[in-house]
């Protein structure tokens, strides 16, 4: 087949990229080779626009065993235990086919984790939909939630935490980010780097079909009005087969048979074989006739680019074939030697006894393009609204408006569709600041949380980038965990647009500052560009997934109030920042202004002291203050208990809306038993921490003295309406 | 007390039940579905999960697997059999328990803690519970909507074969306290000889206060008596 301009374009390759291919090969590529280049050089696989910015992020630390560059990041949690985790996007496929898109997103990220030898112990997700009134939102919400549940429930890994948000910026491009967390013995971690020549390259798992061909390229382009036609590029998931693959792989990993292992994710057989060879500075030769195929007459092009799910590539130690094969046939899975490692440093493909492609591995991997795209800085936006000029609104009414809004409503409609309890180590389920998962058969546990704040990032990317790292850090602190490391999923628009590239550069800069200051390294992650339709880009939406450690797990605190008559302490200073607040958005439809400032020093000090108080058993319940401010935080602590609070108005004269709804950062609310109040206050004073004793807990009523008094149960009902009525 | 847990491809509560049994001092063994003989057991557990991916119909393929013949033989000779969730579905597919489990009424997977009431505390599975005791147990299923013929329902009632019913905190069984649409709020049933119990809720998830509660413990300790 002659390679025409149209063919090159349809492979998503730019003119200069094609010329580069000719130069690297010293000839014209054939059609198959062109397909392979396009699969490896697209944005999704090559990180060509993001790489130079990602380099800034701190990736090392005392507890980091493996940073970015492997299937997932690995951290040390002591006693030969390690945690493997990563987050990944499946945005484009989920918009086209929500159930399968979301399901295979979960399946893909699980494989990244168990490829490294870890048994997955928790799943999390961050899902963003368009406005609830958009005609597609309801079916997308339904499809995505049941897809996430369908996969995780069947494979039997608890889905323990996440966020579900709505905003019109995602009307034509939803976000589906899935995170998986696994546990492994530190001395049993598996990597993707191949070693040794003439070692068997083994294909295991499902058969290869025609699904998902060019999926990664699809995810590297904007949508247009014809995006529905892209349905065939979406993969189809089979969680049952993945469960078998998981058990078979973990069984094989018990001994020393595996030299290297890599899952076939984006760009399938192509990227898995190239990555293994590239990391080991080797070549790889595949005989495509041997690839197990689901359909008849599949071409080499289809085999190399299919993104059929639940497949792995393994480089096996000599003499281990029989034993390994036995394990896979026990689990009724394909196990076929399809090639070998070579010292040629080429990807060599054979079909029907003929050589049909030969490409230097370096050309595909290390010589993939890297772009320093143009970008511009964003100025700190001015705040134009004057609070005094806005129509006065009662505190109670404003609170009710927030608690009944889609973004703040109780999400049990979503989370009840996920099995959160299977594996019996979920000590704290979703609905709290972070979920807590016990390490099986141990006293220790990890806390996990995923967070994003797209409106802050849109308004001022550097601040937003910092804020989201801090919020995630705070969420782990709130459940008594010491934050260790994060993974990030960076969802942005078209990087060829300099404003969007600026959002990316500045968000990562903000993240870098916060991660460095908090000693909170990034160990894995994923970038998703081209989130937009018809040139309309989404808000910059970096999502952070954090892991913290709890050395000795006791009954989790939770954020629910525990005892009548205890004190309510607010840690951190309230300035009353309302720019970008949900108070303005929900009550006045005002979305302007700058995001709240981040003071990293206060953030760190406040967090440390809260963790210290929790560890000293001085805290009955704890919740961080985030969007919606102090009063929303307090109401969340009261709802679903039979208790309420009695809060005094601030003594100094100030605007009550600012005080109760301001979204100043670095703040927490603690419930402290009467007998512990002196000890707590002394500790806070001795550490020069700003705090206020703002009230007490009481039976039944949520009260702000002289301002509002409402039955907690009524608040609970208000908070539980939206999903059930949608 | 010796127990065996049958493992099918796609079982995913097999480890959880094994942990619970061992915690209660059962001598437990895992048995692979392709095995053709069972180790000597006083109790056989068919665990929850998605055996064979729930393809065709939940429990249908597992109900025809090799080991099931042995389970049926053991059941007929009086061995105690416990089927939880998918295990309950499998037991109805084998005919060891009558009735069937339909799709949840709201057509969605449901995972949450629900209250169930002990309807009979005179069996080997329930002697440590009080009659009408209300337990808080986790459910997690797509198809937990129990249904059976009128004739069988009468038999269940007459012979006191209803093991548990979904209820509220106070023990009221009504439509509001019925999570999945099950006939008469039925959450678990016995066979006529009361040596087989099938139930949708997961007692193995409720054996540890740090994780949940200990409302499931007495089911296992009853069996030890």
ipTM of the complex: 0.97
**What single-letter DSSP state applies at residue A82?**
E
Q: A328 CB near a chain B CB, below 8 Å?
A: no
CA distance A101 to chain B (A): 18
Strands of the A426-428 sheet, one edge to the other: A426-428, A435-438, A445-451, A541-550, A482-491, A522-528
- Run of H or E including B71: helix B66-76
Nearest-by-Cβ selection for B12 from A155, A426, A438: A155
pLDDT score, position A230: 59
pLDDT score, position A686: 97
The token pair at A196 is 């040794």
Q: Give chain B positions within 8 Å (CB) of A238.
A: 53
pLDDT score, position B69: 95
Report whether A285 contacts A248 (CB < 8 A).
no
For residue A557, give the chain B residue with the closest CA.
B210
B133's CB contacts (< 8 A; 6+ apart) are B117, B118, B121
* CB within 8 Å: B50 and A243: yes
Burial of A232 from C-beta contacts in 10 A (0-12 / 13-18 / 19+): middle
Strands A541-550 and A445-451: antiparallel
Going A670 to A674 to A676 to A680, the CA torsion angle's sign is positive
- Closest by CA to A265, choosing from A503, A40, A55, is A40
The token pair at A547 is 């892991």
B135-162: average pLDDT? 98
A395-403 and A712-719 helices, crossing angle to 10°:
40
Residue ranges for chain A with pLDDT beneath 70: 214-233, 653
- Phi/psi for A596 (5° steps) reads -60, 150
- Could you give the CA distance from residue A684 to residue A690 in angstroms, rounded to a whole number? 8
Nearest-by-Cβ selection for B16 from A240, A418, A423: A423
Give the class (CATH, top level) of B2-224: alpha beta
* CB within 8 Å: B111 and A421: yes
pLDDT score, position A210: 86
- A residues 435-454 lying closer than 8 A (beta carbon) to B: 438
Q: A153 CB near a chain B CB, below 8 Å?
A: yes
A239-252 and A137-155 helices, crossing angle to 10°:
40
For residue B55, give the chain A residue with the closest CA.
A240
Query: Structure pTM?
Result: 0.96
pLDDT score, position A653: 63
Chain B residues with CB under 8 Å of a chain A CB are 9-10, 12-13, 15-16, 19, 48-50, 52-55, 108-112, 138, 140, 142, 202, 204-205, 207-212
- Report chain A's terminal Cα–Cα distance, integer Å: 53
Residue matched to tokens 């492997």: A70
- Phi/psi for A639 (5° steps) reads -60, 150
CA distance B203 to chain A (A): 11
User: In Å, how far are A12, A528, A531, B71 from A42, measured between CA atoms?
Assistant: 7, 11, 15, 54
Strands of the B110-118 sheet, one edge to the other: B27-32, B2-7, B43-46, B80-84, B196-199, B186-190, B162-167, B110-118, B134-141
Q: Give chain B positions within 8 Å (CB) of A426.
A: 211
- Catalytic residue at B13? no
* CB within 8 Å: B16 and A332: no
Report whether A221 contacts A495 (CB < 8 A).
no
Strands of the A567-571 sheet, one edge to the other: A621-624, A668-672, A567-571, A691-699, A643-647, A701-704, A708-711
- Catalytic residue at B85? yes
Nearest-by-Cβ selection for A421 from B49, B54, B205: B205
- Could you give the CA distance from residue A716 to residue A721 in angstroms, rounded to a whole number? 9
- Closest by CA to B170, choosing from B137, B199, B216, B136, is B136
- Closest by CA to A50, choosing from A519, A493, A363, is A493
* CB within 8 Å: B111 and A240: no
Strands B162-167 and B196-199: unpaired
The residue ranges of every structural domain in chain B are 2-224
Report whether B145 contacts B185 (CB < 8 A).
no
* Cβ density class A623-661: b for 16+ within 10 Å, e for less: bbbbbbbbbbbbbbbbbbbebbbbbebbeeeeebbbbbb
pLDDT score, position A45: 86
For residue A330, give the chain B residue with the closest CA.
B34
B91-108: average pLDDT? 97
Strands A119-129 and B134-141: unpaired
Q: A425 CB near a chain B CB, below 8 Å?
A: yes
The token pair at A24 is 């690297």
Report whether A53 contacts A504 (CB < 8 A).
yes
- Closest by CA to A538, choosing from A43, A42, A129, A48, is A129
Q: Give chain A positions within 8 Å (CB) of B55.
A: 240
Catalytic residue (one of B13, B141, B167, B204): B204
Between A56-65, A387-396, B13-22, B68-77, the lowest mean confidence (pLDDT) is in: A387-396
B42-69: average pLDDT? 95
User: In Å, how far are A153, A391, B48, B84, B110 from B12, measured between CA atoms?
Assistant: 9, 56, 6, 11, 16
B104's CB contacts (< 8 A; 6+ apart) are B110, B141, B142, B143, B144, B145, B179, B180, B181
- Could you give the CA distance from residue A256 to residue A253 in angstroms, rounded to a whole number? 7
pLDDT score, position A384: 73
- Could you give the CA distance from residue B63 to residue B89 in angstroms, rounded to a whole number? 9
pLDDT score, position A373: 96
pLDDT score, position A267: 85
């Amino acid at each position: 087949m002659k390679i025409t301009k149209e063919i090159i374009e349809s492979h998503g390759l730019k003119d200069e990229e094609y010329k580069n291919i000719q130069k690297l090969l010293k000839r014209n590529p054939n059609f198959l080779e062109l397909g392979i280049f396009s699969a490896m050089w697209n944005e999704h696989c090559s990180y060509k626009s993001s790489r130079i910015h990602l380099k800034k992020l701190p990736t090392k630390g005392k507890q980091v065993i493996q940073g970015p560059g492997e299937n997932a990041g690995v951290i040390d949690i002591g006693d030969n235990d390690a945690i493997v985790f990563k987050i990944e996007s499946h945005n484009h496929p989920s918009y086209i086919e929500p159930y399968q898109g979301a399901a295979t997103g979960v399946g893909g990220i699980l494989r990244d984790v168990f490829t490294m030898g870890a048994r997955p112990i928790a799943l999390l997700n961050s899902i963003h939909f368009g406005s609830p009134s958009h005609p597609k939102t309801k079916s997308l919400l339904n499809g995505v939630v049941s897809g996430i549940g369908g996969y995780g429930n069947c494979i039997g890994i608890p889905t323990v935490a996440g966020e579900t948000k709505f905003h019109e910026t995602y009307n034509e491009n939803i976000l589906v980010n899935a995170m998986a967390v696994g546990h492994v013995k530190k001395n049993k971690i598996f990597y993707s780097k191949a070693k040794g020549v003439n070692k068997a390259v083994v294909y295991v798992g499902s058969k290869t079909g025609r699904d998902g061909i060019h999926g990664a390229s699809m995810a590297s382009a904007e949508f247009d009005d014809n995006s529905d036609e892209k349905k065939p590029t979406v993969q189809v998931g089979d969680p049952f087969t993945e469960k078998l693959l998981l058990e078979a792989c973990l069984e094989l990993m018990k001994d020393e048979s595996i030299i290297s292992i890599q899952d076939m994710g984006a760009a399938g057989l192509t990227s898995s074989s190239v990555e293994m060879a590239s990391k080991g500075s080797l070549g790889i030769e595949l005989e495509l006739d041997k690839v197990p195929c689901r359909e008849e007459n599949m071409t080499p092009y289809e085999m190399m680019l299919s993104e059929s799910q639940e497949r792995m590539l393994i480089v096996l130690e000599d003499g281990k074939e029989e034993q390994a094969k036995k394990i896979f046939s026990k689990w009724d899975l394909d196990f076929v030697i399809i090639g070998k490692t070579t010292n040629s440093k080429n990807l060599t493909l054979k079909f029907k006894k003929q050589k049909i492609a030969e490409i230097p591995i370096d050309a595909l991997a290390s010589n993939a393009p890297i772009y320093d795209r143009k970008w511009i800085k964003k100025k700190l936006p001015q705040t134009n609204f004057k609070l005094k000029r806005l129509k006065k609104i009662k505190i109670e009414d404003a609170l009710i408006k927030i608690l009944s809004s889609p973004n703040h409503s109780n999400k049990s409609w979503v989370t009840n569709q996920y099995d959160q309890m299977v594996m019996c180590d979920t000590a704290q389920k979703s609905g709290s600041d972070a979920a807590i998962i016990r390490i099986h058969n141990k006293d220790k546990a990890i806390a996990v949380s995923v967070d994003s704040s797209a409106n802050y990032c849109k308004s001022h990317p550097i601040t937003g980038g910092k804020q989201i790292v801090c919020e995630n850090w705070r969420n782990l602190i709130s459940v008594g965990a010491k934050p260790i490391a994060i993974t990030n999923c960076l969802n942005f628009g078209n990087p060829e647009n300099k404003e969007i590239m600026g959002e990316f550069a500045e968000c990562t800069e903000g993240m870098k500052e916060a991660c460095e200051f908090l000693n909170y390294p990034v160990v894995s992650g994923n970038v998703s560009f081209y989130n937009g339709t018809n040139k309309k880009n989404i808000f910059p939406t970096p999502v952070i997934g954090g892991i913290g450690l709890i050395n000795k797990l006791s009954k989790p605190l939770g954020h629910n109030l525990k005892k009548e008559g205890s004190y309510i302490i607010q840690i951190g200073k309230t300035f009353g920042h309302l720019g970008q607040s949900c108070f303005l958005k929900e009550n006045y439809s005002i979305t302007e202004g700058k995001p709240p400032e981040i003071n990293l020093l206060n953030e760190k000090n406040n967090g440390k002291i809260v963790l210290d108080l929790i560890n000293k058993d001085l805290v009955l319940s704890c919740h961080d203050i985030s969007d919606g401010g102090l009063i929303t935080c307090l109401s969340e602590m009261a709802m679903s208990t039979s208790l309420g609070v009695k809060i005094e108005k601030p003594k100094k004269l100030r605007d009550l809306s600012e005080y109760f709804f301001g979204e100043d950062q670095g703040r927490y609310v603690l419930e402290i038993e009467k007998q512990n109040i002196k000890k707590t206050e002394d500790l806070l004073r001795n550490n020069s921490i700003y705090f206020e004793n703002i009230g007490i807990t009481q039976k039944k009523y949520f009260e702000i003295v002289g301002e509002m008094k409402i039955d907690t149960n009524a608040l609970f009902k208000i908070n539980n309406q939206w999903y059930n009525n949608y | 007390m010796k127990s065996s847990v049958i493992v099918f491809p796609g079982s995913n509560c097999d480890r959880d039940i094994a942990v619970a049994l061992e915690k209660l001092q059962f001598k437990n063994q895992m048995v692979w579905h392709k095995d053709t003989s069972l180790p000597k057991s006083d109790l056989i557990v068919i665990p929850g999960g998605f055996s064979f991916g729930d393809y065709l119909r939940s429990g249908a393929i597992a109900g025809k697997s090799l080991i099931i013949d042995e389970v049926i033989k053991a059941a007929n000779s009086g061995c105690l059999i416990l089927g939880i969730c998918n295990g309950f579905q499998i037991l109805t597919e084998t005919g060891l328990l009558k009735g069937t489990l339909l799709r949840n009424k709201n057509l969605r997977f449901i995972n949450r803690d629900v209250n169930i009431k002990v309807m009979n505390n005179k069996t080997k599975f329930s002697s440590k519970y009080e009659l009408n005791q209300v337990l808080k147990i986790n459910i997690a299923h797509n198809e937990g909507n129990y249904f059976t013929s009128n004739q069988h329902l009468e038999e269940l009632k007459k012979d006191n074969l209803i093991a548990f019913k979904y209820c509220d905190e106070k023990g009221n069984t009504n439509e509001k306290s019925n999570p999945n649409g099950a006939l008469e709020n039925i959450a678990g049933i016995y066979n006529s000889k009361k040596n087989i119990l099938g139930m949708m809720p997961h007692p193995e998830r409720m054996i540890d206060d740090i994780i949940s509660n200990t409302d499931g413990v007495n089911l296992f300790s009853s069996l030890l008596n």
